[in-house]
Amino acid sequence: MTDQQDDGKPQDPFKPYKGRFETYDRIPEKGRKTDDILEEIALMAEEENTAWRTGKISGTYYHAGDAHRAFLNQTFSYFSHVNTIQFDLCPSMAKFESEIISMTAGMLNGDAVKDVDPSDDVCGTVTSGGSESIAMAVKVYRDKARAEKNVTAPEIIMPKTAHPAFNKAGAYYGVKMVIVPVDFPDFRVSPEAVEARINPNTVAIVGSAGNYPYGLIDPLRELSAVALKHGIGFHVDGCLGGFILPWIEKLGYKIPPFDFRLPGVTSISADTHKFGYALKGTSVILYRNPEFRRYQYFTFPDWPGGIYASPTSAGSRSGGLSAATWASLVSLGASGYLDAARSIMHVADEIRAAIEAIDGLIVIGEPTFLIGFRSEALDIFHINDFMKTRGWRFNCLQLPPALHFCVTLPQTRVPNLGAEFRKDLAEGVSYARQNVGTPAQSSALYGLAGIVDGNQQVNDLLCGVFDHMYAI
């Protein structure tokens, strides 16, 4: 299924513009005309936009429509040159970011912490994305435990399904990540299994709301009790679900408490650039009280260049992103987010029903906006192979083999998408049944990834892909 170039050679998916447009390996001696540059960029953008406009792309594109995106881009332009770290020159940044944090905390029931301890007061910072929000939480738990408990070999316990950003943060900050397998067929972490792994070096535990592979919410109420019992931190990763689950709950769906209503929750990450419908490059990390946040800050008063301080791992950030994020929240309002969630769940319910109606397919857990499914009778990747020919792009999962489809607003703008999905999926299952015993094209990578040697081969392959992407 490799695309072919006009000369018959396979097309490089990472370099489709090579040969079409000029390649620059040096700064040109003479600058190009701006109109020519914009024309070239606009052509690339339009070609790449055709994929998500079909509504058949899982996740990836979370924006709230062309008009909303144009509004955010205009907002961004007023502050694109601003550095958020220079609050004294641009006090608008303090306004935007403090209000983003407060609005996010309100959505996630930050006021509930005072019912447990009146001295608690939810606070946080704006970050560059979910990975940085998670990394900041890992740093906070490491430093807090070192300062207050003299823990020098910190460990954080996380479900196997938690985002790899935790593993990355552990590698960066020297924190051992203790991984707990999830229960089958529930695919959520066992609180008992988490508690069994707690030792004097444990500084925090992690739960997802919802996790990326399956969109499921871990048993957070029970994990909250475990964290309180042992006096350790508890981070809820709401990077994916944080800005949509509260509205799904208001629509009447059964969503278990996942936010600061749980007394053991000490931090939550939530991505404004996903279902907050902000421009890419923003997230929020929240803490139960300012004592946690103090361990996130970096200060260096003895530098010849002056006193240096940074609230997050990033130094310079464009103020345009903070302005646009604030504008997204206040322009949509609670009613806008509720309407968006209603539209998303209408499509998600149709997709889930289509999967459940086919014998041999199994919906994983009790999903909401993201539906994962697997099969014990068929090679699920044969279905993926077929669906790709119809323009669908699923996310492929492993351990066990599965697929998921994450519904975002672009899917809600395509008429009869649910009916089209049902028809194509039924044909995809028929295709899989006709090809039992033959290898699926999209399963090769996952076939390697199930063994240690295979994982090393995959690591080498992925590093090679990055090398190739950055090559001229």
Give the whole-angstrom CA distance, residue 215 versus residue 245: 11
Considering the domain architecture, whether residues 175 and 115 belong to the same structural domain is answered as: yes
15 pLDDT tier (thresholds 50, 70, 90): confident
User: What pLDDT does residue 45 have?
Assistant: 93
The whole model's pTM is what?
0.90
Domain presence at residue 61: no
**Kind of pairing, strands 370-374 and 362-363?**
antiparallel
Considering the domain architecture, whether residues 318 and 338 belong to the same structural domain is answered as: no
**Kind of pairing, strands 233-238 and 202-208?**
parallel
For residue 417, pLDDT over 60 is answered with yes
Query: Could you tell me the CATH number of the domain that includes residue 406?
Result: 3.90.1150.10
Considering the domain architecture, whether residues 391 and 352 belong to the same structural domain is answered as: yes
Considering the domain architecture, whether residues 302 and 370 belong to the same structural domain is answered as: no
Considering the domain architecture, whether residues 99 and 212 belong to the same structural domain is answered as: yes
Domain presence at residue 49: no
User: What pLDDT does residue 162 have?
Assistant: 97
Domain presence at residue 355: yes
**pLDDT digits 0-9 by tens, 176-201:** 999 999 988 889 999 999 999 999 99
Considering the domain architecture, whether residues 161 and 188 belong to the same structural domain is answered as: yes
Considering the domain architecture, whether residues 269 and 350 belong to the same structural domain is answered as: no
User: What pLDDT does residue 439 have?
Assistant: 87
1 pLDDT tier (thresholds 50, 70, 90): very low
316 burial class (0-12, 13-18, 19+ CB within 10 angstroms)?
Answer: exposed
pLDDT average, residue stretch 258-286: 98
For residue 298, pLDDT over 80 is answered with yes
User: In this predicted model, which residue has the larger pLDDT, 451 or 354?
Assistant: 354
User: What pLDDT does residue 469 have?
Assistant: 65
Domain presence at residue 35: no
For residue 91, pLDDT over 70 is answered with yes
What is the secondary structure of 108-130 as a DSSP string? Answer: TTGGGHHHH-TT---EEEEESSH
**pLDDT digits 0-9 by tens, 428-467:** 999 999 999 898 888 534 334 444 445 666 667 667 776 7
User: What pLDDT does residue 466 have?
Assistant: 67
Domain presence at residue 173: yes
Last residue of a domain, one of 328, 351, 368: 328
pLDDT average, residue stretch 364-376: 96
Considering the domain architecture, whether residues 88 and 221 belong to the same structural domain is answered as: yes
Considering the domain architecture, whether residues 219 and 358 belong to the same structural domain is answered as: no
Query: Could you tell me the CATH number of the domain that includes residue 313?
Result: 3.40.640.10
User: What pLDDT does residue 456 have?
Assistant: 63
Q: How many domains does the chain have?
A: 2
Q: How far is CA 235 from the centre of its chain?
A: 15
Last residue of a domain, one of 328, 353, 385: 328
H helices of 357-412, in order, are: 380-389, 409-412
**pLDDT digits 0-9 by tens, 144-166:** 999 999 999 999 999 999 999 99
For residue 353, pLDDT over 70 is answered with yes
pLDDT average, residue stretch 351-365: 96
Give the whole-angstrom CA distance, residue 210 versus residue 109: 17
Last residue of a domain, one of 302, 328, 354: 328
Domain presence at residue 457: no
pLDDT average, residue stretch 239-243: 97
Considering the domain architecture, whether residues 322 and 364 belong to the same structural domain is answered as: no
Considering the domain architecture, whether residues 122 and 224 belong to the same structural domain is answered as: yes
Nearest to 266 by CA among 299, 297, 223: 223
Domain presence at residue 435: yes
Mean of the per-residue pLDDT values of the chain: 92
Considering the domain architecture, whether residues 167 and 244 belong to the same structural domain is answered as: yes
Task: Look up the domain containing 210 and give its range.
Answer: 79-328
**pLDDT digits 0-9 by tens, 300-348:** 999 999 888 899 999 899 999 999 999 999 999 999 999 999 999 999 9
Domain presence at residue 24: no
